[in-house]
Amino acid sequence: MGYSMAVDGPAGAGKSTIAKLAAKELGLIYIDTGAMYRAIGLHFINNDIVPEDSEAAKIACDGLSINIKYEEGIQQIYLNGENVSARIRMEEVGKMASAVAKLPFVRSKLVDIQRQLAKNENVIMDGRDIGTCVLPDANVKIYLTANSRVRAQRRYNELVEKNIKCDIDEIEASIIARDYEDMHREISPLRQADDAILLDTSDMDIAMVVNSIKNIYEESLK
């Protein structure tokens, strides 16, 4: 088992931005587990499978191949051999990812892949259940959060930068709805692990958060 840092938290807390930067600075491999749930969500959308139809959902999930590759240091996700890394970023896919993430056979398939990836590498892995379920013995666990208005504002800024028209109240409502789903599902709900360090980034910029993570990392090596 290599070194592992688990980063969990609600939607839009900046987990992937922070984990990517921290990975670079600390020489860790960044594993984005949300991308795996999103890939399955995309497959469900493309094939009109509804998560409530558990028989069809199980057959679809069993037949799927999900592969993670690193191209120039950046994680790419392949669904049945096709690179879907860009397409999984749509809000619609995020919502479906949250719905498929409730299914036990989806979770066990992805948790196996995630543990396998962490086995022989030094990793920083982000998601919802990394510290509580996937890597309970992680060297460090961080729970990264920010208030919902700040998270909505960050997402809003990103979308405006890409010239995508959006409404901040709608974004905030959808963030709150997704958090509720993720925190109240039966299996591995999002929660702060007992031994996780809480980082509330509401009043922090990216550099400050990365710096805190670096300090936590160095402390964990002592």
CA 161, CA 58: separation in Å to the nearest integer? 39
Beta carbon nearer to ligand DC, 3 or 155: 155
Residues paired with 77 in a beta bridge: 68
Beta carbon nearer to ligand DC, 37 or 217: 37
Minimum gap (Å) between residue 128 Cβ and ligand DC: 4
Q: What are 62's two structure tokens?
A: 């069993």
CA end-to-end span of the chain, whole Å? Answer: 18
CA 124, CA 50: separation in Å to the nearest integer? 32
Minimum gap (Å) between residue 130 Cβ and ligand DC: 6
Contacts with ligand DC by CB under 6 A lie at 11, 33-34, 37-38, 94, 97-98, 101, 127-130, 178, 182
Spatial CA neighbour of 34 closest among 51, 13, 48? 13
Beta carbon nearer to ligand DC, 43 or 128: 128
Beta carbon nearer to ligand DC, 22 or 97: 97
Q: Is the dihedral of CA 8, 11, 17, 18 positive or negative?
A: negative
